[in-house]
Amino acid sequence: MKILTIAIIVLVSLTINKIGFDSGTSEKTSVRMDAPLVGTQWTLVGLSNTKIPANAMSNGIFFILRKDSTVSGNGGCNTFTTRYALGKNNRIQFGEMVRTNVSCEAIAIEQKFINALASADHYHLTGDTLLLNRGASMNLAKFVAVR
């Protein structure tokens, strides 16, 4: 009986430690989670090592890779859709895009974004950051995951 009681205490203790115990304090710890490549909204934060200001576009520039090999997103002025393919060694390829045709102040940035997608042939994913590259080292665009 004594062994059973000790086993239950240990089990309860491990369970509390694993799921966390709310001690009533408002202090929270954040855990950095790796964002999945597919199904995540990737928001543009840089083009060719140039930072994009957060207020540069009211709509934001982003894309989402879907499980059915389609991509949808917004270039800042226009929405777009296309197909994509993933390969070995972090290879990625985007197809020809279908876009709306609206002009706005951010059209130059949008065109650079679209060109970066069209030129990308590799990606590098670390945590919540995605880099699209041309070849092994040429950084075309940097994105962060939005949850």
CA atoms within 13 A on the CB side of 99: 19
Tokens of 63: 């894309």
- Which residues partner with 72 through β-bridges? 64, 81
The residues facing 81 across adjacent strands are: 72, 98
Which amino acid does the sequence have at 113? F
Look at 129 and 31; give whichever has higher pLDDT.
129
pLDDT of residue 49: 75
Secondary structure element (H or E) that encloses residue 118, with its range: helix 107-119
Q: Which two tokens stand for residue 68?
A: 């059915």
Using only C-alpha atoms, the chain has a radius of gyration, in whole angstroms, of 22
* CATH numbers and ranges of domains, the chain: 41-146 (2.40.128.270)
The answer to whether 104 touches 77, Cβ cutoff 8 Å, is yes
Closest CA to 56 of 97, 128, 110, 114: 110
Asked if pLDDT for residue 72 goes beyond 60, the answer is: yes
2 or 139: which carries more pLDDT confidence? 139
**Confidence band for 58, pLDDT divided at 50, 70 and 90:** low
Q: Alpha-carbon dihedral of residues 53, 56, 60, 62, nearest 10 degrees? A: -60
Comparing 121 with 16, the larger pLDDT belongs to 121
> Is the predicted pLDDT of residue 21 greater than 70, yes or no?
no
Q: Is the pLDDT of residue 140 over 90?
A: yes
The arithmetic mean of pLDDT across residues 64-90, rounded, is 96
Residues 32-50: tens digit of each pLDDT: 457 899 999 999 999 987 8
- Over the stretch 115-127, which tens digit does the pLDDT of each residue have? 999 999 999 999 9
Please, are residues 121 and 141 in contact by the beta-carbon 8 Å criterion?
Answer: no
